[in-house]
Amino acid sequence: MNVAILVSGRGSNMAALLQAHSKGDLAVNPAVVFSNKPEAPALATARDFGIPVESIHHKTFSSRQDYDRAVIDCLSRYDVQGAVLAGYMRIVTPVFLDAFPKGVVNIHPSLLPSFRGVDGVQQAWDYGAKVVGCTVHFVNAEVDDGPIIVQKSIDVMPDETAAALGSRLLDIEHKAIVEGVNLWGEGRLSIVGRRVVVGSG
Ligand code: GRF
C-alpha cells in the first residue's frame, strides 16, 4: 500500500517511519511526504531519505474543505491509498478522509481519550498524571477520537519537567507509530464497533 505521510514541523515520527522503511522494516510504502508548512524541517529530512515532498500552505484557503481538496489533488499523483498524520497540525475534514480507502492513521501524544487537542503532554503534566503515553489511532470525523490501534505508556518521574517528559515520550512515540503502521500495512486490523481487532494478517 502506498501512503502519504503528512507533517507540519520537526518530523521525528516521520523520520522513524522512513528509517524503518529504509531498513525494509515498514509494511507500507511512503510514496510522498506532504506539509502544510513549506518551511517545515521535516521536508529536508524526507528529501535526505529520497522521498518526494510536496507542500501547500493552508493560509490562502478560505475553508478546511477547500484546503483538503487541494491536498487530495496534489497527493493523487502518488497513487496513495492511505495517509499517516505524523505531527500534522491540521484538523482534517470528511472530504480528506473519504479520499483514502485504506484509512488515515494519526499519532497523538496522550493516552486517548484523555488530553485531546494540542499539547497533550503539557496537559497531562499540568493535570498531575502519573502515567502518560501516546496513541496511534484511525482518524474519524472527530478530533483525536478514532479507533485505537496502539497505545504505549511511561511513568512520570518525580520532579520531571513537562519538556523532559515530552522528550522521553517522543522516543516511545517513534516505536508506537512504526508498530501501528505495520499492523495496518500488514492488513491485520479490523474495526468492530469502535474497537480495533488485531488478526494474524
Ligand atoms: C508528536 O508529539 C506527535 O504525537 C504530535 O505532534 C508531535 C510531532 O512531533 N501529533 P514530530 O514532528 O513527529 O517530531
79 burial via Cβ count (<10 Å: 0-12, 13-18, 19+): exposed
- 88, amino acid identity: Y
Does the beta carbon of 82 sit less than 6 angstroms from any atom of ligand 1? no
Angle at 108 between CA 194 and CA 114, to 5 degrees: 65
β-pairing verdict for 148-155 and 131-138: antiparallel
Coil, helix or strand for 18?
Answer: helix
Coil, helix or strand for 30?
Answer: strand
Number of helical H runs and strand E runs in the chain: 6, 9
Coil, helix or strand for 43?
Answer: helix
As a whole number, the mean pLDDT across the chain is: 97
- Residue of 173, 175, 177 to test ligand 1 pocket, by largest number of atoms within 8 Å of CB: 173
The pTM of this model reads 0.97
Residue 201's pLDDT band, with cuts at 50, 70 and 90, is confident
Q: Ligand 1 atom closest to Cα of 10? A: 12
- Quick one: CA dihedral 43, 107, 104, 72, positive or negative? negative
Residues acting as catalytic residues? 108
Residues 7-62 have pLDDT tens digits of: 999 999 999 999 999 999 999 999 999 999 999 999 999 999 999 999 999 998 99
Does the beta carbon of 107 sit less than 6 angstroms from any atom of ligand 1? yes
- What's the gap in Å between 13 CA and the centre of ligand 1? 6
Residues 170-186 have pLDDT tens digits of: 999 999 999 999 999 99
Question: 159: which DSSP letter?
Answer: T
Predicted pLDDT of residue 200 = 85
- What's the gap in Å between 79 CA and the centre of ligand 1? 25
Does the beta carbon of 37 sit less than 6 angstroms from any atom of ligand 1? no
Partnered with residue 191 across adjacent β-strands are 196
Predicted pLDDT of residue 64 = 97
User: What is the Rg, in whole angstroms, of the alpha carbon atoms belonging to the chain?
Assistant: 16
Does the beta carbon of 17 sit less than 6 angstroms from any atom of ligand 1? no
Predicted pLDDT of residue 111 = 98
Average of per-residue pLDDT across 57-81: 97
Coil, helix or strand for 34?
Answer: strand
Does the beta carbon of 173 sit less than 6 angstroms from any atom of ligand 1? yes
Q: Ligand 1 atom closest to Cα of 86? A: 13
Q: At what angle do helices 12-22 and 162-185 cross, to 10 degrees?
A: 40
Residue 115's pLDDT band, with cuts at 50, 70 and 90, is very high
